[in-house]
Amino acid sequence: MDTNVKLQIGELPPRPDVTHWLRSLHYLSADRNHGKWWRDGARVPSLKPWLKHYPDGVPAELSYPRQRLGWLLKQASERYPDRVACHYYHQQLTFTELFTRARKLAAVFVREGLQPGDRVGILLPNLPESLTAHFATWLAGGVVVSLSPLMVAEEVVSMMRATDCRFVVTLDILSPLVCHGDQPPELLILNSMAGRLSQIEKLGYAWMRFQKVGFRSPGSQTRVLWLEQIVKEEFLDYPSVTGNIHAPAFVLPTGGTTGAPKAVTLSHHNLMCQAWQLSHWSRGHHGEEKILAVLPFFHSYGLSASVMTAIATGGTLVMHHRFQPETVIQLIDTHRPSMMLAVPAMLSALNKEMKKNDKFDLTSIKVIMSGGAALPETVAKEFQERSGAVIVEGYGLSEASPTTHAGPLDGTAKPGSIGLPLPDTDAKIVDPDGDGEPLGPGEVGELCVRGPQVMLGYWNNPEATASVIRDEWLHTGDMATYDEDGFFRIVDRIKDLIITSGFNVYPGDVEEVLRGYPGVKDVAVIGVPDEERGEIVKAVLFVESKKDFSKSEFEAFTKEKLAAHKRPRIIEASENDLPRNFLGKVLRRELREGATATKQPSAAPPAEQEHEITVQDT
């Protein structure tokens, strides 16, 4: 890797020793006790009113396996060898079959030179191969770098460079994103969806591949292996990998290529603890549950709440590669999942679909946990009436694996509340401008959390880590309050973050791109409330000439430069400057106050993309 290249997420020399920034925070010290603060006598039940409202059978403290994540799939294959681990179209894999595939890919990784701690990029939608790639990486001692299919090529390459990804697992049609720069990965493991699609879908897939790859072979710039061939080969044994449970396991970006993007680093222990917390909170029956898995695995919400929880409990994942209301309803009717993880826009879209066609039976779903944005009570009530499911809200952020709060599933959840802190999770409200002392019930302040699921830090960025983790508390940047019973409620956000259909959009990232459009002197990006998506992105442009400004050309520019969820749906151009304070800082608050939820997007997304809903960062 060229050390002269300026990276977007910290500077990394070739094959860096990234443990120095972790050691500086005492995360890898031999006597590390992170995640055990609740056992040192500091727990004071009187200060944690939520403990009195835990559902029966949910303990306040848990005992966690001191294992790395590969162990989860191994023990599931031993406990439930013949149980179906995942359904996708007409394909199904048992836990034994999934573990065997993961071991074969892990052996190839080791054979090809993967060393413990090396990064493996995974750029896949929700496919069985995504499960194989994640666990193969962990079994081989690698670190998963999450690459979203929603990223543009510059974002993918930036993340690969910043984390020094040597190997990447992806689809043939996505390979141009990986090989976009002048330094493709050393090894590309390719896969295709074509073999499982219907005849019509196969034609569409072939056309898409031709558009993206042309007549070339995918990944022609680097060494390529095909995953389909790897899993058919005889198993080659490889040395068993052991290591620190607090070592990095999963790295995912929290921003784009502009501004100051960061990458969250979660450890094996973080994700293991989160799986245990969620499995105990859901009170599911081991070896019996089915989980509808349409939240993207490239985000910690989909990975933890769907994949890790299912593997930990021997649950079956009913998968699809994207959210389409009509497809999801058919999956529920056919496969009868008992649990569903969602964002509010999903439930809203399903309600609309059921109004058009109510012949499908949704009553198999017993539990729904919704996150990513506030859940309108009317949306929850309508879906509950159709399914009979218990629907609760939760709260989290990528920095916490991601879930810290969830509504109790015993019928005592309070509408509008994000629920109670999970087992072994502490929370407090503090004055963001004060000394960190906790505020009382009913007072509004910044929500701070701590627990074993809180991240190691931001990848190779100790300064950014220290700014949000102070004295073991993760400062969320969200304003919240709690009541006498310990139920928390989000009031507002300190940050200018926009959440659209569960995706986090960072205004600074989008603004930096839009300023590059000819004729734009300055721009401010804000979120506008929207009933279906929670918020939509609005761009307020300060242009040189409104007469010369072309919305259609501007929208074509954003389509080329920005991922779909980042593109402005409302565009307002003016020759007047943006509102500013005396220091010249744009006053977003004034722009937000002038925006209304009744405004329609200037360019609605194509019909086939309207409900492609996934989670980027919660």
Relative to beta strand 469-470, strand 473-482 is: antiparallel
pLDDT (average), residues 36-44: 40
pLDDT band at 581 (very low <50, low <70, confident <90, very high): low
pLDDT of residue 31: 34
CA 520-159-129 angle, to 5 degrees, is 125
User: When comparing pLDDT for 85 and 46, which is higher?
Assistant: 85
**The domain 498-609: what is its CATH number?**
3.30.300.30
Q: Give the end-to-end CA distance of the chain in Å, rounded to a whole number.
A: 33
What is the percent of the chain where pLDDT is above 90? 65
Distance CA 616, CA 323 (A): 14
Please give the structure tokens belonging to residue 389: 């499911």
pLDDT of residue 91: 95
pLDDT of residue 261: 62
Where in the chain are the domains?
Answer: 95-260, 498-609
Note if the pTM is more than 0.95: no
* Coil, helix or strand at residue 373: coil
DSSP letters, 432-466, are: TTS-SPBP-TT--EEEEEESTTS-SEETT-HHHHH
pLDDT per residue over 325-378, tens digit each? 999 999 999 999 999 999 988 999 999 999 998 899 999 999 999 998 788 888
DSSP letters, 282-300, are: HTPPTTT-EEEE-S-TTSH
pLDDT of residue 11: 33
Instruction: Please report the sign of the dihedral spanned by the C-alpha atoms of residue 164, residue 170, residue 176, residue 177.
Output: negative
Nearest to 610 by CA among 188, 326, 281: 326
**The domain 95-260: what is its CATH number?**
3.40.50.980
* Coil, helix or strand at residue 340: strand
pLDDT of residue 538: 96
pLDDT per residue over 461-520, tens digit each? 999 999 999 999 999 988 899 999 999 998 866 767 788 988 878 787 898 899 899 999
| Residue 325 contacts residue 358 (beta carbons within 8 Å) | no
Distance CA 96, CA 76 (A): 8
pLDDT of residue 499: 87
Residue 503 CB partners (closer than 8 Å, separation 6+): 372, 565, 566, 614, 615, 616, 617
Nearest to 373 by CA among 193, 614, 106: 614
pLDDT of residue 609: 38
Domain 95-260 and domain 498-609 have a common topology: no
